[in-house]
Amino acid sequence: MIAARNGERARRIAEQIGCAAGASALDVCDASAVRAALEGVRLVVNCVPLREPFGLLRAAIERGVAYTDVSPATIWETAFSLSAEAVRSGARVVVAPVAVGETFIATHRGFGELERLGWIEKRPLMVAAQAARANAIVRAWREKRPIEPLKIGYTVAEGLAAGDPGRKGEWVLRILNETGGVAGDAEDEEILETQTLLARTEGIWAGPTGVATLAVLRRLLAAKALDPDATICVILSETGLKTEARAPSREATAFDEDSLRRLVHSRLGGAA
């Protein structure tokens, strides 16, 4: 069986494969329909991204049907990998960037799958990070009300510039409210400052959209909204190479004993 979003494309692939390959329209969220479709099937080939890969995979396992996935990575799959990596690191808090909320939702669902499989006992606390100039979800969470679309202007975190997050935004807000999650935002100036700080201290040149999560984390820690002793995973979703901002200088000093002594004395206010 060929699994694809486009039925016509799936049929063409089935024809190219030949033999006993076939294709049919199917809602992978309908467990009973998936099980029925797998009747008599010996191999499932998923050739395009699916929003719910586990529904099809789970049914194949239950039926004893071979399954292979040759599709490119989707946001859901990427977020599932992030979830697994966060668990391995012992993270108890995960900060995800939110425009309309796809990464946040997918990461949350990844943790849900890990919990369902018994790989974790408890999901980490989810934190939704937005730019202060496009913070419809954060405002709704803070004021305990439904989301109201915003008319937004320019923000350096261009990937987070969504004034109306729509139904996915409502989903993010529901997750926050039902799980005791936290939402926060950061001003453009804070984002750019954090971008430079990250580059100078960790050698990571992330773009404003990605580093907004870290800027929000700094704000929340300063406000004592999160436990500073917790292991925290921050998703940096953009490289600085995608922005027009100039990277910090790479000039450095190779320390020897004398230069290090001078540096220490200068910082302590003494003479070399």
Q: Report domain extents, the chain.
A: 2-69, 75-242
Q: Comparing 2-69 with 75-242, is the CATH topology the same?
A: yes
Nearest-5° Cα angle at 123, 80 to 178: 105
Share above pLDDT 90 across residues of the chain, in percent, rounded to a whole number: 42
Give the pLDDT mean for 185-203: 92
Residue-wise pLDDT tens digits, 208-254:
999 999 999 999 999 999 999 999 999 998 888 777 667 666 666 66
Q: How far is CA 213 from CA 18, 209, 254, 265, in A?
A: 49, 8, 33, 36
The residues pairing with 243 across neighbouring beta strands, listed in sequence order, are none
Residue-wise pLDDT tens digits, 25-78:
666 667 788 788 888 888 777 665 554 555 777 777 787 887 766 555 555 566
- Report whether 225 contacts 182 (CB < 8 A): yes
**Residue 40 backbone zone (phi > 0: left; psi -120 to 50: alpha; other: beta):** left
User: Hey, what's the torsion of the CAs at 153, 155, 159, 162, to 10 degrees?
Assistant: -30
CB burial readout 244-255, b (16+ within 10 A) else e: eeeeeeeeeeee
Task: Please state which of the ranges 35-39, 99-103, 127-131 shows the lowest mean pLDDT.
Answer: 35-39
Cα 141 to Cα 203: distance, rounded to the nearest angstrom: 34
pLDDT greater at residue 110 or residue 179: 179
Which residue, chain included where needed, has tokens 């200088």?
249
Give the pLDDT mean for 197-212: 90
What is the pLDDT confidence band of residue 183, given thresholds at 50, 70 and 90? Answer: very high
CATH superfamily of the domain spanning 2-69: NAD(P)-binding Rossmann-like Domain (3.40.50.720)
- Report whether 157 contacts 191 (CB < 8 A): yes
What's the predicted TM-score (pTM) here? 0.66
Task: Please state which of the ranges 14-18, 48-52, 176-180, 244-248 shows the lowest mean pLDDT.
Answer: 48-52
User: Topology of 75-242 in CATH?
Assistant: Rossmann fold (3.40.50)
Cα 67 to Cα 179: distance, rounded to the nearest angstrom: 34
Q: Find which of 7-11, 194-198, 246-250 is predicted with most confidence, using mean pLDDT.
A: 194-198
